[in-house]
Amino acid sequence: MRQYIDFFNAQRPSIEKISSELMNAYRDAACKTFVENGFPAFNTEAYRHTDIPTLLSSDFGFNLVDRYPDIDPYQSFKCSIPNLSTNMYFMINDRFYRRETGHKPLPENIFSGSMQEFTLRYPEIFRKYYGKLAATEKAGLAAFNTMFVQDGYVLYIPKNVVLDKPIQVTNILRGKVDSLINRRFLIIVEAGAQAKLLLCDHTADEAPTLAVIQVSEIYVDENAVFDFYELEESSDNTLRFNSVFLRQAAATNVMINSITLSNGITRNNYHVALDGSRSETDLYGLAIVDKSQQIDNHTNIEHHAPHSKSNELFKYVLDDQAKGAFSGRIAVAQDAQKTQAYQNNRNLCCSADARMFSKPQLEIYADDVKCSHGMTTGQLDEAALFYMRSRGIAEEEARLLLKYAFTDDIIEGIRMDALRERLKILIDKRFRGELITCRKCL
Average pLDDT over residues 262-272: 96
The band of 101, judged by pLDDT with boundaries at 50, 70 and 90, is low
Per the CB < 8 A criterion, the answer to whether 181 and 213 are in contact is: yes
Q: How far is CA 244 from CA 28, 85, 126, 194, 366, in A?
A: 22, 22, 18, 19, 26
Max Cα separation, the chain? 70
Average pLDDT over residues 168-178: 89
Task: Report the residue count for the chain.
Answer: 442
Per the CB < 8 A criterion, the answer to whether 198 and 416 are in contact is: yes
What is the model's pLDDT at position 442? 37
What is the model's pLDDT at position 86? 57
Per the CB < 8 A criterion, the answer to whether 97 and 91 are in contact is: yes
Please tell me the least confidently modeled range out of 184-188, 316-320, 324-328, 386-390.
386-390
For the chain, give the mean pLDDT: 90
Residue 13: CB partners within 8 Å, gap ≥ 6?
none
What is the model's pLDDT at position 221? 98
HEC profile of the chain = CHHHHHHHHHHHHHHHHCCCHHHHCCHHHHHHHHHHHCCCCCCCCCCCCCCHHHHCCCCCECCCCCCCCCCCHHHHEEECCCCCCCEEEEEECCEECCCCCCCCCCCCCCEEEEHHHHHHHCHHHHHHHCCCCHHHCCCCHHHHHHHHCCCCEEEEECCCCECCCCEEEEEEECCCCCEEEEEEEEEEECCCCEEEEEEEEEECCCCCCEEEEEEEEEEECCCCEEEEEEEEECCCCEEEEEEEEEEECCCCEEEEEEEEEECCEEEEEEEEEECCCCCEEEEEEEEEECCCCEEEEEEEEEECCCCCEEEEEEEEEECCCCEEEEEEEEEECCCCCCCEEEEEEEEEECCCCCEEEEEEEEEECCCCCEEEEEEEEECCCHHHHHHHHHCCCCHHHHHHHHHHHHCHHHHHCCCCHHHHHHHHHHHHHHHCCCCCCCEEEC
Gap between the terminal Cα atoms of the chain = 39
153-157/111-114 β-pairing: antiparallel
Sign of CA dihedral 284, 245, 136, 185: positive
Segment 103-156, tens digit of pLDDT: 567 877 899 999 999 999 999 999 999 999 997 666 689 999 999 999 999 999
Average pLDDT over residues 37-63: 91
What is the model's pLDDT at position 44? 85
Per the CB < 8 A criterion, the answer to whether 224 and 191 are in contact is: yes
State the burial class of residue 36 (Cβ atoms within 10 Å of its Cβ: 0-12, 13-18, 19+).
exposed
**Residue of 294, 288, 344 lying closest to 49 (CA atoms):** 294
179-189/153-157 β-pairing: parallel
What is the model's pLDDT at position 138? 65
The yes-or-no verdict on residue 441 having pLDDT over 90 is no
Radius of gyration (C-alpha) of the chain in whole angstroms: 21
Residue 273: CB partners within 8 Å, gap ≥ 6?
133, 246, 247, 248, 302, 304
Segment 217-251, tens digit of pLDDT: 999 999 999 999 999 999 999 999 999 999 999 99
Tell me the residue type at 105.
Answer: P
Alpha-carbon gap, residue 334 to 303, rounded angstroms: 9
Alpha-carbon gap, residue 166 to 86, rounded angstroms: 7
Average pLDDT over residues 393-400: 81
Tell me the residue type at 335.
Answer: D
The band of 100, judged by pLDDT with boundaries at 50, 70 and 90, is low
**Model pTM?**
0.94
What is the model's pLDDT at position 161? 95
